[in-house]
């Protein structure tokens, strides 16, 4: 087990990348602490899998280095890295039984038969497949196969890290929850570094201590789930985390006041000298409907149980507001107010930290 350092890493699938747009993974420096449970979150095609494959050595990066502890493994083969990886779609060895499948990585490391047997039983219990150990893997359903893949990923105790590439896509929702819990237990028990790729924010937030959000080949933010929610470093994070995502408006900001389409919005901090495209972002959770503030035209109300999502239009743009349980839905031309210290200010999509008032 070791800390994984990515230093000046970049990757392009083209042999001669011309500009930044040719890079699937833009230059990044990143450290995965030993024993951390990370979720790598981002929309499809943002470079998550590329990053994962570089860590596991399935892909050689065009630039930069990968270090496990102090050892430079940039050019080491996957097998030398002693790393486990679970893929999006099940990969099982058809001709083997479930037991042989689970034992395969251990056997390849030449471990003793009793050790293998004990570990295989343990993992089988964890993925709930004890009863099927002696069946051929071939005839099983997709989610049983994926459980085998997961089990094979977790069976080695001494791996440097376990990488999960959207492993629960093919698993049914109930089982998903259970397996995720199992993964957490496993993490607590063995303290493996785990990196879990997903585009599902619930999955990311429930699994990980730290969430890494990627956008367009870059890591845009890494932090605790609460940080991502309160202070999204990039408009993409604001939009991607949260349901519904952050409301974002083009604005002019001077001091502690933002002007949006002629209306003034008070801010919780002071800003000066902003350049580029300036925007403000406000979570639906921190918007209040009432009879004061900006005009808000209600279009639709969705009841999602604990609260209601009010979809409407403010300042000429679609906007969502979350109405806590018990609050009445106002009449059609309501007004909306933002909690001043929850408003984030962005310049060219990146968050700007405000100064004292």
Partner 1 sequence: MEKTLNNKAWFLVLPVLLLVAFSAIIPLMTVVNYSVNDTFGDNQFFWAGLEWFQEMVTSDRLHEALGRQVIFSAVILAIEVPLGIYIALNMPKGGVWSSVCLVLMALPLLIPFNVVGTIWQIFGRVDIGLLGHTLAAIGIDYNYTNDPVDAWITVIVMDVWHWTSLVALLCYAGLQSIPNAYYQAAKVDQASRWSIFRYIELPKMRGVLLIAVLLRFMDSFMIYTEPFVVTGGGPGNSTTFLSIDLVKMAIGQFDLGPAAAFSIMYFLVIQLVSWVFYTVMTNLDKEEAK
Which of residues 7, 43, 74, 78 is near partner 1 by CB under 8 A? 78
Residue 5 CB partners (closer than 8 Å, separation 6+): 30, 31, 32, 65, 66, 67
CA atoms within 13 A on the CB side of 178: 11
Q: How far is the CB of 215 from partner 1 (least distance, A)?
A: 25
One-character DSSP codes across 152-176? HHHS-SS-SEEEEESTTTTS-HHHH
**Residue 82 touching partner 1 (CB under 8 A):** yes
Identify any residues that bridge with 337 across adjacent strands, giving them in sequence order.
288
C-beta of 96 vs 274, nearer to partner 1:
96
**Residue 136 touching partner 1 (CB under 8 A):** yes
> CA–CA distance from 215 to each of 141, 220, 221, 283 (Å)?
34, 6, 9, 20
C-beta of 110 vs 316, nearer to partner 1:
110
**Residue 193 touching partner 1 (CB under 8 A):** no
C-beta of 86 vs 265, nearer to partner 1:
86
> Three-class SS of residue 104?
helix
**Residue 138 touching partner 1 (CB under 8 A):** yes
Q: Comparing C-alpha atoms, which of 220, 252, 267 is closest to residue 239? A: 220
Q: Which stretch binds partner 1 (CB under 8 A): 66-74, 116-124, 136-144, 317-325?
A: 136-144
**Residue 93 touching partner 1 (CB under 8 A):** yes
C-beta of 26 vs 136, nearer to partner 1:
136
Segment 231-290, which members bind partner 1 (CB under 8 A)? none
Gap between the Cα atoms of 171 and 178, Å rounded: 11
**Residue 75 touching partner 1 (CB under 8 A):** no
**Residue 344 touching partner 1 (CB under 8 A):** no
Residue 328 CB partners (closer than 8 Å, separation 6+): none
**Residue 87 touching partner 1 (CB under 8 A):** yes
Residues 210, 214, 218, 223: what is their CA dihedral angle, to the nearest 10 degrees? Answer: -20
Q: How many residues bind partner 1 (CB under 8 A)?
A: 29
Which of residues 22, 29, 72, 94 is near partner 1 by CB under 8 A? 94
Q: How far is the CB of 28 from partner 1 (least distance, A)?
A: 22
C-beta of 177 vs 190, nearer to partner 1:
190
C-beta of 84 vs 334, nearer to partner 1:
84
Residue 130 CB partners (closer than 8 Å, separation 6+): 121, 124
Q: Tokens standing for 142?
A: 């997709």
C-beta of 156 vs 234, nearer to partner 1:
156
Identify any residues that bridge with 65 across adjacent strands, giving them in sequence order.
7
Q: How far is the CB of 145 from partner 1 (least distance, A)?
A: 12
Residue ranges in contact with partner 1 by CB under 8 A? 53, 56-58, 77-79, 82-85, 87, 89, 91, 93-96, 104-105, 108-109, 135-136, 138-139, 149, 152-153
């Amino acid at each position: 087990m070791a800390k994984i350092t990515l230093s000046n890493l970049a990757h392009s699938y083209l042999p001669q990348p011309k500009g930044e747009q040719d890079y699937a993974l833009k230059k990044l420096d990143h450290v995965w602490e030993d024993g951390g449970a990370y979720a790598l979150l981002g929309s499809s095609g943002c470079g998550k899998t590329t990053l994962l494959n570089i860590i596991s050595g399935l892909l050689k990066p065009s630039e930069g280095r990968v270090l496990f502890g102090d050892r430079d493994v940039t050019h080491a083969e996957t097998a030398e890295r002693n790393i486990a990886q679970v893929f999006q779609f099940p990969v099982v060895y058809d001709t083997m039984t479930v037991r042989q499948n689970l034992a395969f990585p251990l056997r390849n490391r030449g471990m003793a038969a009793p050790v293998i047997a004990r570990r295989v039983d343990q993992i089988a219990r964890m993925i709930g497949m004890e009863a099927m150990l002696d069946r051929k893997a071939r005839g099983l359903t997709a989610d049983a196969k994926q459980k085998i893949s997961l089990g094979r990923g977790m069976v080695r105790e001494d791996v440097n890290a376990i990488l999960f590439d959207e492993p629960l896509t093919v698993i049914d929702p109930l089982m998903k929850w259970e397996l995720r819990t199992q993964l957490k237990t496993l993490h607590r028990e063995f303290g493996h570094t785990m990196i879990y790729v997903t585009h599902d924010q619930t999955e990311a937030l429930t699994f990980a201590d730290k969430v890494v959000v990627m956008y367009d080949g870059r890591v845009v933010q890494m932090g605790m789930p609460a940080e991502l929610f309160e202070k999204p470093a990039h408009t993409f994070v604001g939009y991607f985390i949260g349901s519904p995502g952050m409301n974002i408006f083009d604005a002019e900001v001077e001091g502690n006041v933002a002007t949006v389409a002629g209306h003034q919005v008070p801010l919780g901090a002071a800003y000066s000298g902003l350049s580029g495209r300036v925007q403000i972002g406000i979570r639906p959770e921190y918007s209040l409907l009432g009879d004061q503030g900006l005009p808000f035209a209600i279009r639709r109300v969705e009841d999602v149980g604990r609260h209601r999502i009010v979809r409407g239009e403010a300042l000429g743009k679609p906007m969502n507001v979350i109405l806590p349980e018990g609050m009445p839905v106002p009449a059609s031309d309501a007004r909306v107010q933002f909690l001043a210290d929850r408003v984030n200010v962005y310049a060219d999509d990146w968050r700007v930290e405000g100064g004292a008032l």
